[in-house]
Structure 1
């Protein structure tokens, strides 16, 4: 890790909001759903799919969960009305998981039911390790009732992930596989980069061998190479998997993925609660800040 990246990773949680805003502005669609729709349309025109997410998590009152659910319903209906090639991503803590798990499930059930009516899809995001069991339990219930309309996320830095994949081998499976960004104790998470990457490749192979639909979410060129090799080796068709990337990150790599005939979905977040998301992403990927700084200084200009 470069000295710059190390400094960003160590200090980003304490950097003032206006400075974080400058570095993160290219990686968030805006503050409104209309902003996310416009970005999604632009990406669709370039041959990319999207998943729209309203930012906000770890709420403190259940009324907030109901409001987020209503906004998520509006996202699904807007995707349908605007004929976007996209779907919805939600966070369980945004829907009240830590306040009332049963009511949280009811809200998410309503969203997935609406997605089925509209021929759409809901991705239940994974958060910190304390929510993993509850999130997978919800997915396990929903996948039997709504196959094709719901999926969840698994993280390769967690030691438990291969077993979680095996536990769902008996039916419909749809996963986004990512490395993971929450800071977890070593007892739960691999800390070595090679171990995390090795687990990513092994988990992807395990998913595909079990017949799962895999959304391969990474900006790591080596893991993209490994995934493409596995796709060729298994003779998969383009509708059996997809790649996923964050908005604004490594646009050259996403062009390479598309040029290779692979499907690509871009994560399009929007909303007023952008600060925690931005800080986590900058901590995970300090090169975002480095790229923005070069643009500000005119270093990338030709």
Structure 2
């Protein structure tokens, strides 16, 4: 039986950038010169950008929604990864010596079959596929990324969680020798290791991806090598990077940003243009490399696929 494909609908562009965000806009334009590409132009892009040679075997995304991809340079040069630095442009240079091989992924907690997996072997065992997803940061910027990975539900099936397991907790590598901010001790920006969580039905959803690559190549360190979570209808901080542990539990796990600032960051973090962050309006967003802003879509444009998961919930209170 053929798997039903998800739908993507390209958002509209609108309103000129506010004067207060002029400096941020300049960073966006510098990175991309407002250039986006379609999947038909990937080969041309590879020649111009000198992309790393493809090293993953995967099924291509037909891009039925005709989304425009951000360039490899944009996607890999503008990153939030506080373990390295709070500077988006500073992550890439600081991550050059990051070692992601070998890499073990532990799957434990309320499961019948605890797992200790070699991620690099797992990449060859899992049926990889490209997923062209919108990616929305709570700070008000966004991009479109051609991730490569496998559905998290496949990994869950391997672990055979108990019926009493209601949530999934994720944990990032803790390695102060590789992550400069972790090495700052009590002066670190956040408490580490970074942790995130999903409800079981969110984790099992076919859109939820364990990404191991982009643009045909394994993930670079600044994008969460060698394996990261991607939940396209949630703000980017939910898509935890460089995962080393996945734990099944019957208790809702606290996530790092909710612990750090509970009034600003909730557990669900679904993209919602009607609920502003205290410091950033969520009504509009700017695609990396674009001069103009565009309206933010509820659930980042994936409402048709995921809205039923939150039926009866007040998404203004349970943010």
| TM above 0.5 | no
TM norm structure 1? 0.27
**Structure with the higher fraction of residues in strand conformation:** 2
**Structure with the higher fraction of residues in helix conformation:** 1
